[in-house]
Amino acid sequence: MERGTALKTGSIEFWDHFAKWYRLWVEHTSYHKKIIEALKGMISRGWKVLDVGAGNGVLSIPIHQWGCEVVALEPSIGMRNLLREEMLKRKAWGLRIDPRLWENASPEDFIDFDLVIACNTLHLTKMAFQKALEKVFQTRTKHVFLVYEIDS
């Protein structure tokens, strides 16, 4: 990246560049612990789960280790590399990585999944939050777990 070139927040290029900082942030915060606790209370072994914008797998990996079939949708190469590193470190064999953008994924590919997770991701799509959320429901998922940061 050239000096002075700004990256659009939420773009794939942003996440490719930001991945190394994201790793440090996750290592030094407990942001996801309450989310993981809430998910653990609602998920059953054997569920089919889609994690939209899975990042480094902070949610996907524990869910997979609870005995669920997980598809981690993550379009950023930088974040997918972090996810693969975490999978190796935590021996999360069998977690499936899908490199597509949510915009390019077909709801039919995830028909009748038990759960779709979108943790701070749908508002970053090019299709806008409402259309991205509508697409989640087009999968006919049984459950949706949505985390969204609201501007203060």
Predicted pLDDT at 18: 67
Work out the average pLDDT over 91-100. 96
Full 3-state SS string of 80-108: HHHHHHHHHHCCCCCCEEECCCHHHCCHH
What is the pTM for the complete model shown?
A: 0.87
State how far the alpha carbon of 40 is from the alpha carbons of 25, 35, 50, 124, in Å: 23, 9, 15, 26
DSSP 124: G
Q: How confident is the model at residue 3 (pLDDT cuts 50, 70, 90)?
A: very low
Write down how long the chain is: 152
Share of the chain above pLDDT 70, in %: 89
